[in-house]
Amino acid sequence: MWLIENAKTLLINENADDVVLKVTGEEHKAVPGTRLPKSLLFVPLMVNNEVRGCVSLQDLDREHAFSESDVQLLTTLVNGMGLALENARLFDETSRLLAETEQRNAELAVINSIQQGLVAQMDLQAIYDLVGNQIRDLFDAQVVAIATFDHENEREIFKYTFEDGKRYYPEPRQIDKIRLRLIKTRKPIHISEKSEEAYTTITGESPISIPGTKFAKSMIFVPLSIGDSVRGYVTLQNVDRDHAYSDSDVRLLITLANSMSVALENARLFNETEQRNAELAVINSVQHGLVAEMDMQGIYDLIGDRIRELFDAQVTAIVTFDHDKKKELFNYLFEDGDRLYPTARHFDKVREKLIEERKTLLFNENAAESLSNINGEPHKPVPGTRVAKSAVYVPMGVGETVRGYVTLQNLDREHAFSDSDVRLLNTLTNSMSVALENARLFDETTRLLAETEQRNAELAVINSVQDGLVREMDMQAIYRLVGERICEVLNTQTLIIRTFDHESGLEYWRYAVEKGEIIEVEPRPLIWANKILLETKQFLLINENYEEVAIKYDGTAITKGLAPKSAIFVPMIVSNVVVGSVSLQNVEHENAFSDSDVRLITTLTNSMSVAIENARLFSETSRLLEETNQRATELDTVNRVSNALVAQLEFDALINLVGELMRETFNADIVYLALHDRVENMIHFPYYYGDESKSRPFGNGITEKIITGKKPILINENLDTAYENLKAVKRGKTVASFLGVPILVGDKSIGVISVQSTEMENVFDDNDLRLLSTIAANVGVAIQNADSYKKLRTALDDLKSVQEQLIQQEKLASLGQLTAGIAHEIKNPLNFVNNFSSVSIEMLDEVREELREEEKKRRSEEGKERRSEGAKEEIEGGKLSLVFEILDDIKSNLTKIHEHGTRADGIVKSMLMHSRGGSGKKEATDFNAVVKEYVNLAYHGMRASKQQINVNVDVSVDDKVGSIPIITEDFSRVILNLCNNAFDAMRDKIQSDGKTYSPELLVRTLKKDGCVLVEIEDNGPGISTEIRDKILQPFFTTKKGTQGTGLGLSITHDIIKAHGGTLSLDSEPGKTLFKIQLPVS
């Protein structure tokens, strides 16, 4: 201790025992098994003016064993050793930092190389192979696997599996509990040792390896997540050793898994788009063939042959139902390339289920068992065929009637048919159903034409209308064509064609004529007659008493114009849904419409329904094709922008690159990129083209509206009105079109990208908005990457700063150990003081009692002595009284010694408890006593330091607080840290204010609303608003140099949170108040 305090060489050449006693205050004792030396030399080992240790020489036999030259030589050697040790430590630290930097750079290089490969790859299996091969090259793992989850069937599918250099192709298997944990927590699982035991702990089951592989000793499972959904996982496994993977391995694998997840999602979306295009192409080609085919068997053959080309199925069948005989007829059947012609057979329960439910049946596993369960008996295939492992049955429906079904069956494997296969087969089946119905209607129409001349006339009309419908794909033109032709043929006075919006309950008049004049009517609620059509799906003919019929159904006779005397309402039906109606009305005559009129109008309405549905499908197909082309263009633009962003990590260059790409992509007159500085609450414009704008406070402009709302804004006209509606302040040039989207990072909006046109309105559309939003999302990621790169470049500077703080922390740790040692040494003599003072008090009480007994005895024996003897007794009684007074003084002194010794013993115990730590368990503790004890300890510690100050300390406690559960050794640090910070702050104020300032520290406890409050208030300088949000951050300190580590308040806050409490701060100039709130239970 003397060497640490004085930092000087200590030479003892004679009277060693006395000198040691004088220097240390303790008796000189030899180490057990050795002798006491007669000459001693101690030279401190100094590093940066700090005593790090010492070198000692001792001679056991003689005094004056060491000369001045010996001292000088040893001092020189020790100084050289101190310098060498410090150089070695600094070299080790520098080497460690360089190694960490190289590791980060290597990881970043790997991630960039893989991401560049992923950007160019759209094949899902190629992505699995690319990432899997890279992982095998990077990590020490005999097992590398990538698997995806089939959540619907609760199975995992192995996309990539290697063990010991060999590629495996395991069958899908059920998801086990460790995979379920990945799906539930969406967090990596890292098992470093005792893998089988850890696996069993997690799953509750014994581990089972993938067939053909061994169970590993070290393993990592990293989820592949998109949004909140875990799509699969990547795993590394080492079968030879524990602790095979470091934290940096885990971090790198997580980054690679995230990159692969994004790439897989992009590829999936791309593949789905291609799948939709392929499906549309197939549907269009089939429909073109169906339009030219009116022979029913020709339709069966056309569809059947096309299905065999498209799907992976050994069995393809098209079957129709004879409902009267309850038999199925095989119109088309192929198995293993051979055409079969089975005879008709009776319905089984599978076919009855199709007829009743009119829903697709899909059996992707255990097909025979599932069919047997439905039938209630073993499944029997069509004679001459095999039992399938996968099967799908799609009903052919016309209206509410199932006319038959189409089936695909795979005889070799399960899960042969995907959702897209089922969707495409449904579409083809529906097209065939329409074509078959058209063919049937065509046959029926031909039959009707042969019956009478009237039918010939009707068919001529129908054909003329249908000819027009075939060439017309615009819906309004179809309404007009049919309406004009009906008016021309039937010479009706009033004609109305309506469509229905079932959700809103409104009807729309698409075409209305009364006595040759077009009528325009706003959408209106469904009239009574149309409600009847919705219920019955049958035409409604009213040839007399129209007003009475209308009133009967709670309606009125007039909707627009004159009240009719005769009327007919015919429903427009598409896929068994009434989508509208055609009505004819005569306002002059009853019985105006004959059966032939009804038949003709019904036929024309049906034709119009089919034409409208075809027009809708054509419009939908055209829209999908246009959207597909648009998506392809957008995807090409996004990929081009993403490639450019991936290659750029410098922030300023990145911003400029984004701006130039936006100019090129959108051909805009004004382009800007704005970023929101949340700390300063400012808007900065690192890129602005076409106008000038400087950084400004966050206000009420349209840019701020986009950032606050986190939603894009598209304004194509009337910008002044739009600004008024948004209540936004207008800035910069006047523009005609505006598009701005937020740059989002996570759930935070960090800025805006905007493109504008100064000359033209309606320049930007929803496609531009979607494209710019996608680019903004990539820009957000790129900005985040650039920011991370910038932080990486400053890491060395931060590490150097942290190094200095860690050195100071090491000093404090050493001081804590030294304090514990001193406290332990003081405790022994302190125990003697306390024990002997207590015993001495007891002995004094015994002396007093003995003296009183002797006095009573003496008075009893000498009570009859003469008067002169009485005078002597009085003298002796006076001496005895003096003796009692002296004894009282001695007892009082001993009581004070015992009292202060006990207090010193409590302080020593607190120091030992503080330095050793505790059990970490909460125990019921006298809270007020802890607060008093550690406030007092903090105060005396400050008074014993070199920078002591006079502080008026006032501790006020609430007796109702009592005992509460706390970890005393932890919570004591809270009191010490907050008090020491208060002393430091008041010391700084003394230096600035001088003698006019009187430091005061007030500590209060209070029990209120089921909580205990502790308030620690000082009258120091206060804490400025600029740093209040930072003071709880680790390593943040306002102290100069190495005086503070910046960990005190951070540790204090963590301890309070661990107790379930809160720490709050209220500060103003001249006052700082920390409030601690703890739950009682």
Which tens digits make up the pLDDT trace of 896-909?
A: 787 777 766 666 66
Q: What is the pLDDT of residue 453?
A: 45
Residue 400 confidence (pLDDT) above 90: no
Q: Where is mean pLDDT largest: 615-624, 823-832, 1040-1049?
A: 615-624
Residues 200/156, Cβ–Cβ less than 8 Å? no
Please tell me the predicted confidence (pLDDT) of residue 928: 92
pLDDT at 641 (0 to 100) = 66
Supply the pLDDT for residue 948. 87
Neighbouring-strand partners of residue 965: 924
Q: Per-residue pLDDT for 266 more than 80?
A: no
More confident site: 359 or 638: 359
Reported CATH class of domain 293-436: alpha beta
Measured from the Cβ of residue 797, the count of other Cβ atoms closer than 10 Å reads 9
pLDDT score of 1039 more than 80: no
Q: Is the pTM of this model over 0.85?
A: no
Q: What single string gives the DSSP state of each residue in 190-252?
A: EE-S-HHHHHHHHHSS---PPTT-PPPSEEEEEEEEETTEEEEEEEEEESS-SS---HHHHHH
**Do 1011 and 1079 touch, CB atoms closer than 8 A?**
yes
- Three-class SS string for 451-518? HCHHHHHHHHHHHHHHHHHHHCCCHHHHHHHHHHHHHHHHCCCEEEEEEEECCCCEEEEEEEEECCEE
Most confident of 245-254, 580-589, 797-806, 846-855: 580-589
Q: How far is CA 322 from CA 50, 242, 304, 326, in A?
A: 104, 70, 20, 6
Q: Is the torsion defined by CA of 179, 184, 187, 190 positive or negative?
A: negative
CB 752 within 8 A of CB 673: yes
| Residue 871 pLDDT > 50 | no
User: Tokens for 268?
Assistant: 């999936």
Under the banding of pLDDT at 50, 70 and 90, the label for residue 875 is very low
pLDDT tens digits, 644-687 = 555 555 677 778 888 888 888 888 899 999 999 888 899 999 88
- H-state helical runs in 794-866: 795-861
Asked if 233 and 223 count as a contact pair (C-beta separation under 8 A), the reply is yes
pLDDT tens figures, 748-764: 899 999 999 988 888 88
pLDDT of res. 867: 44
pLDDT of residue 886: 81
Q: Which helix (H) or strand (E) holds 443?
A: helix 419-451
On the question of pLDDT at 1015 being above 90, the answer is yes
Reported as a pLDDT band with limits 50, 70 and 90, residue 147 is: very high
Per CATH, the homologous superfamily of domain 648-785 is: GAF domain (3.30.450.40)
CA proximity to 728, closest of 752, 755, 748, 708: 708
Q: For residues 298 and 289, give the distance between their C-alpha atoms in angstroms, rounded to a whole number.
A: 10
320 SS3 class: strand
pLDDT at site 489? 72
- Average pLDDT in the chain: 80
CA quadruple 813, 815, 821, 827: dihedral sign: negative
**Other beta carbons within 10 Å of 922:** 16
Instruction: State the DSSP H helix or E strand holding residue 312, giving kind and residue range, or none if neither.
Output: none
659/540: higher pLDDT? 540
> Number of helices and strands (H, E) in the chain?
25, 37
Mean pLDDT over 956-970 rounds to: 89
- The class (CATH top level) of 2-92 is alpha beta
Q: Which helix (H) or strand (E) holds 561?
A: none
Q: What is the pLDDT of residue 1042?
A: 46
Cα gap 965→276, rounded to integer Å: 65
CA-based angle 935:938:941, to the nearest 5?
150
Domain chopping of the chain, boundaries: 2-92, 121-274, 293-436, 452-620, 648-785, 797-911, 917-1079
How far apart CA 690 and CA 733 sit, in angstroms, is: 9
What average pLDDT does the segment 836-849 reach?
79
Average pLDDT over residues 858-862: 75
pLDDT at 868: 45
pLDDT (0 to 100) of residue 816: 55
CB atoms within 10 A of CB 1058: 13
3-state secondary structure of 742: strand
Write the DSSP symbol of residue 34: S
Confidence category of residue 604, pLDDT binned at 50, 70, 90: confident
pLDDT confidence of 465, banded at 50, 70, 90? low
Please indicate whether residue 249 or residue 689 has the higher confidence score (pLDDT).
689
d(CA 418, CA 438): 30
pLDDT of residue 321: 92
**Torsion sign over Cα 617, 620, 622, 628:** negative
DSSP string, 576-588: TEEEEEEEEEESS
- pLDDT, residue 329, reads 93
Q: CATH assignment of 121-274?
A: 3.30.450.40
- Distance between alpha carbon 302 and the CA centroid of its chain, in Å? 51
Residue with tokens 């592989």: 213
> Structure tokens of 1002?
């007030």
Give the C-alpha separation, 1019 to 1068, whole Å.
10
CATH superfamily of the 452-620 domain: GAF domain (3.30.450.40)
Please check whether residue 719 is in contact with residue 736, taking contact to mean a CB–CB distance below 8 angstroms: yes
Instruction: Tell me the pairing of strands 1000-1008 and 952-956.
Output: parallel
Residue 775 pLDDT more than 60? yes
Euclidean distance between CA atoms 348 and 984, whole angstroms: 92
pLDDT at 652: 76
Per-residue pLDDT at 571? 93
What pLDDT score does 909 carry?
60
How do 50-59 and 143-150 pair as beta strands?
unpaired
In Å, how far from its chain's centre is CA 963?
41
Domain 293-436 and domain 648-785, same fold? Reply is: yes
Q: 172 or 487, which is more confident?
A: 172
Query: 917-1079: what CATH class?
Result: alpha beta
Give the least confident one: 41-45, 119-123, 304-308, 1034-1038. 119-123
Residues 6+ apart with CB under 8 A from 158: 145, 146, 147, 168, 169, 170, 172, 210
pLDDT over 60 (residue 455): no
Mean pLDDT of 426-446: 77
Residue 800 tokens read as 């150097």
Mean pLDDT of 563-588: 88
Condensed to tens digits (0 to 9), the pLDDT of residues 89-132 reads 877 777 777 766 555 555 555 555 555 554 555 567 787 888 88
Q: What's the confidence (pLDDT) of residue 633?
A: 62
Cβ neighbours of residue 665 under 8 Å, at least 6 residues apart?
637, 641, 771, 775
Residue corresponding to tokens 């040792």 = 193
Strands 963-966 and 923-926: antiparallel
Share of the chain above pLDDT 90, in %: 17
Give the confidence band of 913 by pLDDT, cuts at 50, 70, 90. low
Which pLDDT value is given to residue 755? Answer: 92
Report the candidate in 169, 154, 147 with the shortest Cα–Cα distance to residue 232.
147
What does the pLDDT average to over 571-595?
88
For residue 966, pLDDT over 60 is answered with yes
Q: N- to C-terminal Cα distance for the chain?
A: 45
- The residue with greater pLDDT, 468 or 606, is 606
For residue 1050, the SS3 value is helix
Q: SS3 for 72?
A: helix
User: DSSP letter string over 959-977?
Assistant: TT--EEEE-HHHHHHHHHH
Residues 6+ apart with CB under 8 A from 102: none
